[in-house]
């Protein structure tokens, strides 16, 4: 059985990855901070899909937490999904610098270190895949959050190219707004986000898995967001910043 390690696997997009990969008969390693919720999620997956599920409680905003996951990855996995992430209540420059640094640690440092930890075993086996969950915000001016996700896209594209192995795939996943716990946890008012801009986590994962199989290095699930990103790229950054400041903050 192939093995997948998913960070942030107890809610939202990560939980959708866990369901999909369990249905595809992957053994799972679930990573998040809340141990009780990890245990509950693992049990539900075992009962429903009959797969093996390990849990690894780790805070990816800490060196110790990242090191624990690195250590498990060095044993070898077939698929790594770097998904854990969050938004901050305030936006730049009001958000406390400690919160901004924690975001960079989880969104960038953890993604870099976990990718590096997973690759040697994949190279040895001559196959493997890494999905780094970025965001459509990577293509717009959305403060530290958008900047951190732009790093994820740029890093993933470069890593895919530099690893240069046809059977080791690295892909950045760039969803638009997805109905998860993300906005509530960040204390964001998402009431102004128009209904058609919301995606379902299961649909996002379906699109991601299809794009991964196609060998894409960047996946933007749904036609809506492909159009949003393509049009957004034509809009001057200053105008982007003005529109962005009004949506989903
Ligand atoms: N929802 C959206 O609109 C949207 C859009 C584009 C991209 N994204 C990206 O998608 C990813 C998943 O977001 P989501 O919407 O699914 O969020 P979510 O529903 O809030 O789930 C977040 C998951 O990450 C875990 N997590 C959070 N901080 C962590 C940390 N420091 N260490 C380890 N685990 C941590 C949480 O569990 P614990 O709290 O137990 O740790 C939970 O399992 C993020 O990278 C986010 O930036 C989301």
What one-character-per-residue DSSP string does 152-200 give? HHHHHHHHHHHH--TTEEEEEE----BSSSHHHHTT---TTS-GGG-B-
> Whole-angstrom distance between the N-terminal and C-terminal Cα of the chain?
42
Residue ranges lining ligand 1, Cβ < 6 Å? 7-14, 32-34, 37, 58-61, 83-86, 106, 133, 135, 175, 177-178, 180-182, 185
C-alpha 241, offset from chain centre: 23
Q: What is the CATH number of the domain that holds 44?
A: 3.40.50.720
The helix (run of H) or strand (run of E) holding residue 27 is: strand 27-32
pLDDT of residue 237: 85
Query: Which residue has the CA at smallest separation from atom 7 of ligand 1?
Result: 135
Atom of ligand 1 nearest to the CA of 182: 20
pLDDT of residue 184: 95
Phi, psi angle pair for 33, to nearest 5°: -90, -40
Which of 40, 84, 138 has most ligand 1 atoms within 8 Å of CB, for mutation?
84
**CA–CA separation, 204 vs 169, rounded Å?**
18
**CA–CA separation, 176 vs 137, rounded Å?**
7
Which of 38, 67, 85, 143 has most ligand 1 atoms within 8 Å of CB, for mutation?
85
Phi, psi angle pair for 82, to nearest 5°: -85, 90
pLDDT of residue 170: 98
Question: From the CA of 187, how far away is ligand 1's center (Å)?
Answer: 14
Question: From the CA of 180, how far away is ligand 1's center (Å)?
Answer: 8
Atom of ligand 1 nearest to the CA of 34: 40
| Domain assignment of residue 195, given as a range | 3-245
Residue pair 171/216 in contact (Cβ under 8 Å)? The answer is yes
Catalytic residues: 145
Question: From the CA of 108, how far away is ligand 1's center (Å)?
Answer: 14
Q: How many structural domains comprise the chain?
A: 1
Mean pLDDT, 10 residues at a time, the chain of 249 residues: 98 99 98 98 98 98 98 98 94 90 98 98 98 97 93 98 95 98 93 94 98 97 96 88 71
Query: Which residue has the CA at smallest separation from atom 20 of ligand 1?
Result: 182
Question: From the CA of 23, how far away is ligand 1's center (Å)?
Answer: 21
Atom of ligand 1 nearest to the CA of 38: 40
pLDDT of residue 240: 82
Question: From the CA of 87, how far away is ligand 1's center (Å)?
Answer: 9
The single-letter DSSP state of residue 137 is: G
Atom of ligand 1 nearest to the CA of 107: 45
Residue pair 212/129 in contact (Cβ under 8 Å)? The answer is yes
**CA–CA separation, 155 vs 173, rounded Å?**
12
pTM over the 0.85 mark:
yes
């Amino acid at each position: 059985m192939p093995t997948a390690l998913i960070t942030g696997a107890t809610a939202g997009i990560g939980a959708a990855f866990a369901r999909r990969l369990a249905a595809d008969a992957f053994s799972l390693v679930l990573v998040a901070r809340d141990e009780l919720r990890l245990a509950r999620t693992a049990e539900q997956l075992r009962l429903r899909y009959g797969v093996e599920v390990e849990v690894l409680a780790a805070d990816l905003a800490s060196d110790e937490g990242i090191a624990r996951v690195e250590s498990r990855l060095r044993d070898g996995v077939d698929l790594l999904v770097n998904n854990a992430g969050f938004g901050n209540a305030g936006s730049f420059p009001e958000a406390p610098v400690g919160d901004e640094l924690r975001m960079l640690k989880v969104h960038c440092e953890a993604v870099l270190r976990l990718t590096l930890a997973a690759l040697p075993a994949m190279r040895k086996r001559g196959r493997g895949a890494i999905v780094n969950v970025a965001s459509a915000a990577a293509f717009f001016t959305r403060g530290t959050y958008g900047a951190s996700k732009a790093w994820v896209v740029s890093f993933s594209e470069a890593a895919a190219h530099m690893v240069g192995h046809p059977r080791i795939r690295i892909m950045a996943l760039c969803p638009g707004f997805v109905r998860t716990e993300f906005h509530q946890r960040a204390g964001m008012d998402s009431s102004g986000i128009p209904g058609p801009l919301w995606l379902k986590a299961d649909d996002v994962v379906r699109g991601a898995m299809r794009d991964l199989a196609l060998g894409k290095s960047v996946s933007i699930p749904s036609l809506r967001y492909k159009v949003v990103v393509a049009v957004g790229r034509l809009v001057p950054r200053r105008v982007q910043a003005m529109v962005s400041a009004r949506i989903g903050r």
